[in-house]
């Protein structure tokens, strides 16, 4: 059944932490994959899931950095994965599938934001390729293990999805690049991916969610000139945080951990969350939080799925002939 895109009154909020939302939840015997689980929100997610008893696999673009960040956390395993490289995605998935284990939780958390124009793979724009296409291919490749786990797939989007819908006429920015539009398109794609995956996977007992984690100072901002963050009112000239709405990484990890584990979401899926609750729909030109209609449109979601399948050459749910 389709889940309404409206608040459920979870009792958690913007200041809840990953530890708060896991209170009383035992993840012993569960296996989670957290992409980018060695920096920023991903690192806090890895810590919280492992503390609750889960075995966490952290596929990393920089294995040495990942080992340094999570090596001392019990129940965490590091592997290699570059989401911008389809061969690397394929190889990681093959290694994982060969291990014969089931997957209970996938958190598509890794991402890049507002980078200078960069081309990867077949000349794809890097934010769309890394944030969306890499995760699309990963989940489809891992599908046999995800299906056996009958769990959840959570995609970390952003309020930045409001900056752009899918640019069907120029998805790869061949007619001029805008770093924020490219981030917006990629984050819209994360939401649409969850909408369509949920529709395809729910009969198999797997549910999908997307979310905005909040604003959190992490290495994600590495491509932004300081002056741009000063102008946005995020930091002062010395680099000190100014915006009181910014969350700590522990608070920033809470919504994805809630979406991945909360019994409050049992039987639900396909929805976009924020502040540890399902978000409300707002208009496309609205400022602030909420999900825009362009990001949850089922027709757009199906169209993006078909296109992603063509681009990556992988689809765990082929149409019957």
Ligand X SMILES: NC(=O)c1ccc[n+]([C@@H]2O[C@H](COP(=O)([O-])OP(=O)(O)OC[C@H]3O[C@@H](n4cnc5c(N)ncnc54)[C@H](OP(=O)(O)O)[C@@H]3O)[C@@H](O)[C@H]2O)c1
Residue 127 interacts with ligand X (CB under 6 A): yes or no: no
Is the CB of residue 184 less than 8 Å from the CB of residue 163? Answer: yes
Q: Which of 110, 139, 153, 257 binds ligand X (CB under 6 A)?
A: 110
Long-range contacts of 316-321 (CB under 8 A, 24+ apart): 316/139, 316/140, 316/141, 316/143, 316/144, 317/140, 317/143, 317/200, 317/201
Give the DSSP H/E element, type plus range, for residue 212: strand 207-212
Least gap, CB of 256 to ligand X (angstroms): 8
Of 159, 133, 125, 114, the closest CA to residue 35 belongs to 133
Give the DSSP H/E element, type plus range, for residue 187: helix 179-201
Residue 200 interacts with ligand X (CB under 6 A): yes or no: no
Residue 216 interacts with ligand X (CB under 6 A): yes or no: yes
- Residue among 67 and 150 whose Cβ is closer to ligand X: 67
- Residue among 42 and 270 whose Cβ is closer to ligand X: 42
Q: Which stretch binds ligand X (CB under 6 A): 13-21, 82-90, 237-245, 297-305?
A: 82-90
User: Closest residue to ligand X, Cβ-based?
Assistant: 40
- Residue among 30 and 61 whose Cβ is closer to ligand X: 61
Is the CB of residue 223 less than 8 Å from the CB of residue 116? Answer: yes
Residue 47 interacts with ligand X (CB under 6 A): yes or no: no
Q: Which stretch binds ligand X (CB under 6 A): 141-149, 208-216, 274-282, 309-317?
A: 208-216
Which residues from 144-183 bind ligand X, rule CB under 6 A?
156, 158
Dihedral sign for Cα atoms in the order 291, 141, 18, 26: positive
Query: 38, 136, 177, 183: which one is catalytic?
Result: 183
Using the CB atoms, write b or e for 109-145: b if 16+ within 10 Å: bbbbbbbeebebbeebbbbbbbbbbbbbbbbbbbbeb
Q: Which of 97, 220, 224, 282 binds ligand X (CB under 6 A)?
A: 220
Q: Which stretch binds ligand X (CB under 6 A): 138-146, 214-222, 285-293, 296-304?
A: 214-222
Report the C-alpha gap between 35 and 59 in whole angstroms. Answer: 6
Residue 184 interacts with ligand X (CB under 6 A): yes or no: no
Report the C-alpha gap between 102 and 108 in whole angstroms. Answer: 17
Least gap, CB of 156 to ligand X (angstroms): 4
Is the CB of residue 37 less than 8 Å from the CB of residue 56? Answer: yes
Residue 42 interacts with ligand X (CB under 6 A): yes or no: yes
Q: Which stretch binds ligand X (CB under 6 A): 57-65, 146-154, 267-275, 306-314?
A: 57-65
Q: Which stretch binds ligand X (CB under 6 A): 61-69, 194-202, 224-232, 269-277?
A: 61-69
Which residues, in sequence order, are bridge partners of residue 34?
107
Least gap, CB of 104 to ligand X (angstroms): 21
Least gap, CB of 218 to ligand X (angstroms): 3
Give the chain's end-to-end CA distance (angstroms, integer): 25
Q: How many CB atoms lie within 10 A of CB 80?
A: 14
- 183 among known catalytic residues: yes
Q: Which residues are catalytic?
A: 183
Binding site for ligand X (CB under 6 A): 35-36, 38-42, 61-62, 65, 81-84, 109-113, 130, 156, 158, 212-213, 215-216, 218-220
């Amino acid at each position: 059944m389709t889940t309404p895109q409206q608040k459920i009154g979870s009792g958690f909020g913007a200041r809840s932490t990953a530890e708060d939302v896991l209170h009383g939840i035992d993840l012993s015997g569960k296996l989670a994959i957290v992409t980018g689980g060695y920096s920023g929100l991903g690192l806090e997610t890895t810590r919280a899931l492992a503390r609750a008893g889960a075995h966490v696999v952290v596929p990393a673009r920089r294995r040495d950095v990942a080992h340094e960040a999570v090596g001392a956390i019990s129940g965490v395993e590091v592997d290699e994965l570059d989401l911008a490289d389809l061969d690397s995605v394929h190889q990681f998935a093959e290694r994982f599938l060969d291990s014969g284990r089931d997957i209970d939780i996938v958190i598509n958390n890794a991402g890049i934001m507002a980078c200078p124009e960069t081309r990867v793979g077949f000349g794809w724009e890097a934010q769309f390729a890394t944030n969306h296409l890499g995760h699309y291919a990963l989940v489809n490749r891992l599908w046999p293990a995800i299906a056996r786990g009958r769990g959840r797939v959570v995609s970390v989007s952003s309020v930045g999805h409001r900056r752009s819908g899918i640019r069907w006429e120029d998805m790869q920015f061949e007619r001029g690049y805008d770093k924020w539009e490219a981030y917006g398109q990629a984050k819209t794609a994360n939401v649409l991916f969850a909408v369509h995956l949920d529709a395809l996977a729910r009969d198999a007992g797997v549910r999908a969610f997307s979310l905005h984690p909040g604003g959190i100072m992490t290495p994600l901002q590495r491509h932004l000139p300081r002056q741009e963050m000063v102008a946005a009112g995020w930091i002062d000239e010395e680099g000190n945080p100014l915006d009181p709405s910014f969350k700590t990484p522990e608070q920033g990890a809470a919504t994805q951990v809630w979406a991945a584990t909360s019994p409050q979401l049992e039987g639900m899926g396909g929805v976009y969350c924020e502040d540890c609750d399902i978000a409300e729909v707002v208009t496309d030109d609205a400022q602030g939080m909420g999900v825009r209609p362009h990001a949850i449109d089922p027709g757009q979601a199906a169209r993006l799925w078909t296109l992603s399948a063509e681009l990556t050459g992988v689809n765990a749910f082929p149409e019957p002939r």
